[in-house]
Amino acid sequence: MENNLKRTPLYPLYADYPGTRCIDFGGWELPVQFSGIQQEHDAVRYQAGLFDVSHMGEFVVTGRFAEAFIQQITTNDVSKLVDGQAQYTLMCYPDGGVVDDLLVYRITADQFMVVVNAANIDRDFDWMREHLIGDVTLENKSDELALLALQGPSAAVIMSLVTKQFNCDKLAPFRFATAVSVGGVQSLVSRTGYTGEDGFEIYVSASQAQHVWQSLFAAGAAFGLQPAGLGARDTLRFEARLPLYGQELSARISPLEAGLSPFIKLYKGSFIGRDALVRQKTDGVPRKLVGIEMIERGIPRCHYPVCNADGVPIGEVTSGTQSPTLKRNLGLVLIESGYAGIGTEVWVEIRGKLVKAEVVKTPFYKR
């Protein structure tokens, strides 16, 4: 692995797991697996898994116009948040393409934390800084924080053992608490995740991340806790139909095409990209992101062409795999809207051969 790749504060602990295999993920040296993708996937679905997602970016927005600023650059309605509440949202370009998808945490009325995708940290920060309004401060805290994601049915009981002064199980989904002691380390704990399972995301000082990781494993060993890498993170989010920036979302894909209309609040007034999204809503989107299941043998992979019965291209696969949970060959595809109805037959071009598939309901998995 190239020495110029960035490493998270938890990197030294990877050596504790002999099966660890790291890859270059957007300039980061990160584990694609610790033991095996299927094993780690199953641990999260049925027990618990712990992810190092410290490569994600964290920005802090402060000032009396902090809410107004975030309202102007995101699609969801941040004014609906109360202290200790988070929301999923997106930033769009004026033409409706996606800058990034992100989480916004309201800490107080004049302080928010914004969590962005690792590959987009610099671009997102520049975009936000370019659109700053008066009396708002934007700070990049990405290098100061580590992020651990504890996910799975046993996550709550494991957290109860390391947060004895705070009952994390009282946190509703998309709620968070600051100054929670996790293994004796002050942390921000959020009931959020990217797996389709219950779970918590733990933001902690980079210097304390290894201690928190080890504390969670000491508590979680009896509950089947396993370290989980990027491979399982991808298959888990895929089954739950959670989008990945660069595949289901991009500057060339609008959130309406991606099926994210619940997170676009056109009623809230002006925001960047609103005019384009209003036009799309009125006219209808030309493409839709839908799920497919292969009828004939084959696995749909990212960027494979999708065709109609005449072999005419109508779109492409954005993500696809053999589902570790369902044992079916499934894909997410961005195709012309006329072919997006449930039950419609489409063909995926796999190694030069057209292989039959069918549009199916998503998410593929829901707990």
Q: Which residue, 140, 165, 193, sits at the end of a domain? A: 140
Residues 43 and 97 in one domain: no
Residues 207 and 324 in one domain: no
Residues 203 and 158 in one domain: yes
Q: Is 293 annotated as a binding residue?
A: no
Structure confidence at residue 105 (pLDDT): 99
Q: Which residue, 90, 107, 140, sits at the end of a domain? A: 140
Question: Cα separations (Å) of 169 from 50, 137, 158, 172?
Answer: 17, 33, 10, 8
DSSP letter (8 states) at residue 99: E
Residues 47 and 89 in one domain: no
Residue 3 counted as domain residue: no
Residues 234 and 302 in one domain: no
Residue 281 counted as domain residue: no
Structure confidence at residue 164 (pLDDT): 82
Structure confidence at residue 3 (pLDDT): 74
CA 34 to chain centre: 20
Residue 2 counted as domain residue: no
Looking at residue 361, which CATH number applies to its domain?
2.40.30.110
Residue 98 counted as domain residue: yes
Structure confidence at residue 137 (pLDDT): 99
Give ∠ CA 137-142-148 in degrees, rounded to 5: 130
Residues 148 and 46 in one domain: yes
Number of domains making up the chain:
3
Residue 246 counted as domain residue: no
pTM: predicted TM-score of the whole model, two decimal places: 0.97
Residue 68 counted as domain residue: yes
Residue 127 counted as domain residue: yes
Q: Which residues contact 186 (CB under 8 A, 6 or more apart)?
A: 179, 180, 204, 205
Residues 130 and 171 in one domain: no
Residues 213 and 298 in one domain: no
Residues 62 and 17 in one domain: no
Q: Which residue, 124, 140, 156, sits at the end of a domain? A: 140
Measured CA to CA, the distance from residue 202 to residue 259 in angstroms comes to 28
Residues 42 and 30 in one domain: yes
Residues 161 and 100 in one domain: no
Structure confidence at residue 171 (pLDDT): 98
Residue 264 counted as domain residue: no
Looking at residue 181, which CATH number applies to its domain?
3.30.1360.120
Q: List the structure tokens of 95.
A: 């033409």
- SS3 state at 4: coil
DSSP letter (8 states) at residue 144: T
Provide the residue range defining the domain that includes 319.
Answer: 286-366
| pLDDT (tens place) for every residue of the chain, 367 residues total | 557 899 999 999 999 999 999 999 989 999 999 999 999 999 999 999 999 999 999 999 999 999 999 999 999 999 999 999 999 999 999 999 999 999 999 999 999 999 999 999 999 999 999 999 999 999 999 999 999 999 999 999 999 999 988 999 999 999 999 999 999 999 999 999 999 999 999 999 999 999 999 999 999 999 999 999 999 999 999 999 999 999 999 999 999 999 999 999 999 999 999 999 999 999 999 999 999 999 999 999 999 999 999 999 999 999 999 999 999 999 999 999 999 999 999 999 999 999 999 999 999 999 9
Measured CA to CA, the distance from residue 362 to residue 130 in angstroms comes to 37
Structure confidence at residue 165 (pLDDT): 86
- Amino acid identity of residue 149, one-letter, is A
148: closest CA among 124, 182, 171?
182
Structure confidence at residue 1 (pLDDT): 53
Residues 104 and 79 in one domain: yes
